[in-house]
Amino acid sequence: MTSPTITLDHLIQTRLTEIAEDAWRDHRVMPVKSGDGRVLGLGTSAVWEQWHCQADHGYGVCGEPLLTHQQASTLLGMYNDDEPVPDPQAPPVEIELLDPSRGCFMPEVLFHFSDVVAEYKKG
């Protein structure tokens, strides 16, 4: 009798599903289904929406796009490890994401799009 084989793709997909479930349960953050996202543009840069906030921050359901550190840095024209939004008005959300450059899951911070826009306007 042979034991079942778990492929790396299956393991990664399972972990991504767990992360999405945890993000919804703990922060009311949902992943955007492939193809359902928007292009978020700011200045001459643009990124693809991957997450959105469904939390109520006191004014009803938020619904804002959430950007990773790398996405926020891209929109703000930053190409180093500086914090792209040092004083966000909406609380950033900490989740774990797959980092293709490192080939593993890493802690990541998601910033509300309005905070990135406000930081852009400061510059």
Question: What is the enclosing helix (H) or strand (E) of 119?
Answer: helix 113-122
pLDDT average, residue stretch 19-33: 94
Provide the domain count of the chain.
1
Report whether pLDDT(3) > 70. no
In angstroms, the CA 22 to CA 72 distance is: 23
In angstroms, the CA 112 to CA 110 distance is: 7
With H, G, I as helix, E, B as strand and everything else as coil, classify residue 13: helix
pLDDT average, residue stretch 65-87: 89
Does residue 110 form part of some domain? yes
pLDDT at 1: 53
Percent of the chain past pLDDT 90, that is, above it, reads 67
With H, G, I as helix, E, B as strand and everything else as coil, classify residue 20: helix
pLDDT average, residue stretch 97-104: 86
pTM: 0.87
Strands 104-112 and 93-99: antiparallel
pLDDT average, residue stretch 10-27: 93
Mean pLDDT score of the chain = 90
Does residue 101 form part of some domain? yes
pLDDT at 42: 94
Non-local CB neighbours of 26 within 8 Å, separated by 6+ positions: none
Does residue 47 form part of some domain? yes
Domain residues for the domain of 44 are 8-122
